[in-house]
Amino acid sequence: MEDNNIGWIGTGVMGKAMALNLLKEGRHIFAYSRTKEKANELINRGAAWCDTPAEVTKHSKIIFTIVGFPADVEEVMFGSGGLINNAAPGSIIIDMTTSQPSLAKKINEAAQKRSIDTLDAPVSGGDVGAGEGKLAIMVGGAQKAYDKILPLFKILGENIALLGGPGSGQHTKMSNQILIASTMMGTVESLLYAQKAGLDRDSVIDIIGKGAAASWSINNLGRRMVAGNFDPGFFIKHFVKDMGIALEEARKMNLSLPGLALANQFYISAMALGLENMGTQALYNVLEKLNDMQHPAGAPS
């Protein structure tokens, strides 16, 4: 197996863009996804298709995974034909799914018994960051494995750090998601206020997006809200999953996070409205609908 051969499992919105960046840099990609059609663009660009995760291990000792939910990670790692029981000794498995810190530790413990290294390396930056190779990559694992994979991480992202041992990348991503959850609430409320006040919302973003209120959410997702673009750069259903993990981890630490709990409830409302496959910016629709219900047009204020 050549070090230039890269296994890639998961070709959704984020995974496909990331794998394409590796292809552009001359790496040979051996791809697997539960739905082959999602890998068609990669295959058309020169990636080789594999029918199972086990087949991926036959071609590469460096294997990236970025799937949807912790259960999907479990299946890829430990299921029939999974990576842990099939990867060659000396392999490095890098899980970039946002998942449970405890699962990252479980994967590492099982892998170490077979002389396989693992890194948990969730990312932030959405579809734009994935496409431009400008993701933030939060890594947990051993220094030696991190050093070997760092040149590949640098193709995928700009802000990259090893935060500690197994699970540390996932804990850092939880901190990231906790911050984003409340920031998204503020972004939506800010733009709803601007709309109600009769302001041009793009002009509002132009000015407040460069001051103390500046955030990635207002400058990127705020623009999409104004344009009525609620296509997924990151699915609501995956964000609800992330918030659930963060709330469960906080419970284990006897930590109360009321801001996160409130944001989670609003996103659960979005799921109930059938918006689970829309982008996280579709929270705008939920709060707009809530305000319309509480203050219908023509009703006395």
Amino acid at 118: T
Domains and CATH numbers, the chain: 5-165 (3.40.50.720), 171-294 (1.10.1040.10)
Decide: helix, strand or coil at residue 115: coil
pLDDT of residue 127: 86
pLDDT tens profile 26-67:
999 999 999 899 999 999 999 999 999 999 999 999 999 999
Beta strand ranges found along 152-289 (DSSP E)? 157-164
Contacts of 272 (CB under 8 A, 6+ apart): none
pLDDT tens for the chain, 301 residues long, are 567 999 999 999 899 999 999 999 999 999 999 989 999 999 999 999 999 999 999 999 999 999 999 999 999 999 889 999 999 999 999 999 999 999 999 999 999 999 999 999 999 998 889 999 999 999 999 999 999 999 999 999 999 999 999 999 999 999 999 999 999 999 999 999 999 999 999 999 999 999 999 999 999 999 999 999 999 888 999 999 999 999 999 999 999 999 999 999 999 999 999 999 999 999 999 999 888 887 776 555 5
Write out the catalytic residue numbers: 173
Closest to 9 measured CA to CA, from 130, 120, 97, 111 = 97
Are 108 and 84 in contact, with CB atoms under 8 Å apart? no
DSSP 235: B
Q: What is the pLDDT of residues 131-172, one digit of tens each?
A: 999 999 999 999 999 999 999 999 999 999 999 999 999 999
